[in-house]
Structure 1
Amino acid sequence: MTKTNPGRFFEDYQTGQVIRHAVPRTVSGGERALYHALYPARHALASSDEFARACGLKAAPLDDLIAFHIVFGKTVPDVSLNAVANLGYAEGRWLRPVWPGDTIRSESEVIGLKQNSNGKTGVVWVRTRGLNQSGESVMEYVRWVMVRKRDPEAPAPETVVPELAEVVDASGLVIPSELNFSAYDFELAGENHRWGDYEIGERIDHVDGVTIEEAEHMLATRLWQNTAKVHFDATNREDGKRLIYGGHVISMARALSFNGLANAQMVVALNAGAHANPCFAGDTVRAWSEVLDKAETAAPGVGAIRLRLVATKGDSGDFVLKGEDGKYAPEVLLDLDYWALMPV
């Protein structure tokens, strides 16, 4: 009897199925130190206990994307080990900060299935929750992946395509109850730009770039315990290349966005996202953002800003997203739509 796990194939999923993912992970300041070594991450709220306390928090929470990567990574052996592509995200919300000492685990519910016309693959939609040691949800999101079939002759399941909100409504954003930006120190944060300085439709070139290296992306992917073969095994693709983990590109672009959005301190919702084109070692990642919306909040001194974050390989200054055919331009790596919190 074989004891190894080949991962789930498309015909192994059922709508309504709940999957509890292994293995719980207790996080520490080590995750923060490694994250800040891997990416040029400098947002003050996640960097300094004293800055965070001045904003009402008990200490600096871990970067919001650390929570995302940990929760996501645990789902890979059960959801996307045999995936062809990660197709998109929706309805993502960060529900409470993650602190050093917290233990994080993940569970997913299958909410949709649709076999593709070729009969060899199908799309699986899952709603994933990350929970802490008290059973409290720290974040949730929906993603959908294209997964291979083990047996192309296996019958297609009933098609269920979930209806998903295009945008998390601002009224549904969860803001830590103690967060207060009334005495926010703009000088220590790194920029003077506040919520009222940004206009809907404004685009920001974040200027800087980072060339992706094999060792760094594999270290990052191992850090999040993501076991997807395409990120490690050069024989898994016909071109012999290791595919850069999409979350590595997300974190790199978010870190690069500091230059121009240093005060977008907390990511609180993920509206949509697409890994538009593959990223490989040697690509130089740059980023630009577009302001999509703004909303007031009930938290003192806190505004919400909705941003499109675009990562590119090569020049980011021309703000090209899609061609006349409606397809992403070949230099676009990531198109991410999210809400962040910023001092007013």
Structure 2
Amino acid sequence: MSKTNAGRFFEDYSVGQVIRHAVPRTVAEGERALYHALYPARHALYSSDAFAIACGLDSSPLDDLIAFHTVFGKTVPDISLNALANLGYAEGRWLAPVWPGDTLRAVSEVIGLKQNSNGKSGVVWVRTSGLNQVDEPVLDYVRWVMVRKRDADAPAPETVKPDLAEAVPADALVVPEGLDFGAYDFGLAGEPHRWGDYQIGEKIDHVDGVTIEEAEHMLATRLWQNTAKVHFDATNRDDGKRLIYGGHIISMARALSFNGLANAQMIVALNGGTHANPCFAGDTVRAWSEVLDKAETGAPGVGAIRLRLVATKGDSGAFPLKGQDGRYVPEVLLDLDYWALMPL
């Protein structure tokens, strides 16, 4: 009997299946330091204990996307080790801050299956929950992945496609306990723009670009213990290239969005997302955002803003995003829809 694990293939999944992912991970200040070294992340709430305390928190939590990447990485050996592509996200919510010293683990439930017409692969939908050391949920989200079949002749399962919400409703957003932007210091945060200064439909060019380096994306993927073969093994793709983890692009684009959205401090929901085209070392990533919606919250001085974050490569701003065939143009890397918290 083999003691090694080749990962799950499409026919190994069934709707209702629950998977407890291995190897809990204790996160600490080292993760913050590495995260801020890998990305130009400068949001004040995640950079300064003093700033976070002035906003009603006990100290500075770890960046929201550190929590996401850590939980995501736990799922890879069971969900996407044999993936051809990570296709999208929906119904994601950050439910509690993650603090240095917390231990995160992940559990997923298979909620949908659909074999592709070529018979060689299929799409698997899972709902993943990230929990801390006291079993408190800190994050949950749905994602769907295209996974290879082990045997092309294996019968197709019954198609089950989950009915997913277009967006997390504003009244379902979870504001961290104690968060208070009533005495928010805009000078220390880096920009004067508050919730009321943004208009629905407004587009913001984040100006800056970052060229992706092979060493940095490999370090990031190892940091999150993401073991997907396409990110490490150049022989796994016909073009001989290592595909950059889509989360690396999410974090890069979010960090670039500081220029124009410095006060969109906390991500609290992931409404949807598409990794539109592959990214490889040497590509230069740029980003822009569009304001999709706004809502007030019950927390003092805290508003919610719904943003579309688009990452592109090269010099292109990628307008329009899609061609006449309805597909994303090749320059678009990421199309992400999320809610963030911002001072009123």
| 2:89 alignment counterpart | 89
| 2:238 alignment counterpart | 238
SS in 2 for 1:110: strand
| 2:119 alignment counterpart | 119
Q: How does 1:22-171 map to 2 (within 5 A)?
A: 22-171=22-171
Deviation, 1:118, is 1.3
| 1:225 alignment counterpart | 225
- Superposed CA offset, 1:161-185 (max 9, x none): 1100010000100001200000000
- Superposed CA offset, 1:261-313 (max 9, x none): 00000000000000000000000000000000000111000000000000000
State the distance in 2 between where 1:234 and 1:148 align: 17
State the distance in 1 between where 2:267 and 2:320 align: 24
What residue identity is the alignment partner of 1:160?
V
Deviation, 1:155, is 1.3
What residue identity is the alignment partner of 2:132?
N
In 2, are the aligned partners of 1:24 and 1:104 still within 8 Å (CA)?
yes
Q: Compared with structure 1, are the counterparts of its residues 162 and 317 closer, same or farther at alpha carbon in structure 2 (3 Å cutoff)?
A: closer
State the distance in 1 between where 2:142 and 2:83 align: 16
Which blocks of at least 5 consecutive residues in structure 1 are unaligned? none
| 1:180 alignment counterpart | 180
| 1:311 alignment counterpart | 311
Deviation, 1:325, is 2.5
State the distance in 1 between where 2:286 and 2:320 align: 13
SS in 2 for 1:334: strand
Q: CA RMSD in A?
A: 0.8
State the distance in 1 between where 2:115 and 2:152 align: 10
SS in 2 for 1:235: helix
State the distance in 1 between where 2:246 and 2:41 align: 17
Q: How does 1:239-254 map to 2 (within 5 A)?
A: 239-254=239-254
In 1, are the aligned partners of 2:10 and 2:147 still within 8 Å (CA)?
yes
- Superposed CA offset, 1:36-78 (max 9, x none): 0000000000110000000000000000000000000110000
SS in 2 for 1:88: strand
Q: TM-score, normalised by structure 1?
A: 0.99
SS in 1 for 2:53: helix
In 2, are the aligned partners of 1:70 and 1:224 still within 8 Å (CA)?
yes
- Superposed CA offset, 1:216-267 (max 9, x none): 0000000000001111111111111110100000000000000000000000
Q: How does 1:177-216 map to 2 (within 5 A)?
A: 177-216=177-216
In 1, are the aligned partners of 2:107 and 2:130 still within 8 Å (CA)?
yes
State the distance in 1 between where 2:265 and 2:316 align: 23
Deviation, 1:320, is 3.3
Q: How does 1:246-325 map to 2 (within 5 A)?
A: 246-317=246-317, 319-325=319-325
What residue identity is the alignment partner of 1:213?
E
| 1:328 alignment counterpart | 328
Deviation, 1:316, is 4.9
Corresponding residue pairs, total: 344
Following superposition, which runs of at least 4 residues in structure 1 exceed 4 angstroms of deviation?
316-319
SS in 2 for 1:34: helix
In 1, are the aligned partners of 2:113 and 2:161 still within 8 Å (CA)?
yes
State the distance in 1 between where 2:145 and 2:260 align: 33
What residue identity is the alignment partner of 2:252?
M
